[in-house]
């Protein structure tokens, strides 16, 4: 159920329209958060760190789509992948996972997304962990 559907169901169950207060999407979201429940629709950008601050002009780069597809596949492992996600994941691993050297994806606001060699013990996943 979406937040809107939950709000409508609560409104009908607890008094219907015309009462002193109304349920809405925001109220449902806040109540669920206060109960410690996870968000209903989580993002699939967990492989694009917030620290990267991706600029709008870089939003359409293929590496962004590839990382989002891998993020969706990891977040929802029992959900079947779309053909588009399969394509993006295949392309990404064809680039970053050849026999040698292993690569990872990085981002810089001046150049956009890029590939670089993984550093042993530092870059443990497919994203670059930044300069160290």
Instruction: Kindly tell me the sign of the dihedral angle through the C-alpha atoms of 110, 114, 118, 123.
Output: positive
- Reported as a pLDDT band with limits 50, 70 and 90, residue 44 is low
Domain identity same for 30 and 55: no
3-state helix, strand, coil in the chain (%, to 5): 40, 10, 50
Give me the domain span that covers residue 7.
3-34
If one counts the domains in the chain, the total is 2
Q: How do residues 49-85 score in pLDDT, each as one tens digit?
A: 888 899 999 999 999 999 999 988 988 888 899 999 9
Q: What angle do the packed helices 83-96 and 62-75 form, to 10 degrees?
A: 110
Instruction: With respect to residue 40, please indicate whether it lies within any of the assigned structural domains.
Output: no
Q: Say which residue the tokens 């001046």 belong to.
A: 110
Output Rg (C-alpha) for the chain, integer angstroms: 20
Residue 55 lies in a domain: yes
DSSP type of residue 80: P
């Amino acid at each position: 159920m979406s937040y809107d559907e939950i709000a409508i169901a609560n409104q009908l169950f607890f008094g219907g329209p015309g009462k002193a207060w109304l349920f809405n999407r925001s109220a449902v979201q806040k109540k669920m958060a206060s109960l410690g429940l996870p968000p209903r629709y989580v993002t699939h950008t967990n492989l694009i760190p917030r620290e990267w601050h991706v600029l709008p002009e870089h939003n359409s780069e293929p590496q962004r789509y590839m990382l989002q597809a891998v993020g969706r596949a990891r977040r929802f492992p029992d959900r079947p992948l779309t053909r588009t996600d399969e394509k993006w994941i295949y392309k990404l691993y064809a680039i970053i996972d050849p026999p040698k050297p292993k690569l990872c994806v990085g981002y810089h606001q001046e150049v956009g997304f890029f590939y670089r060699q993984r550093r042993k013990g530092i870059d443990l996943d497919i994203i670059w962990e930044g300069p160290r």
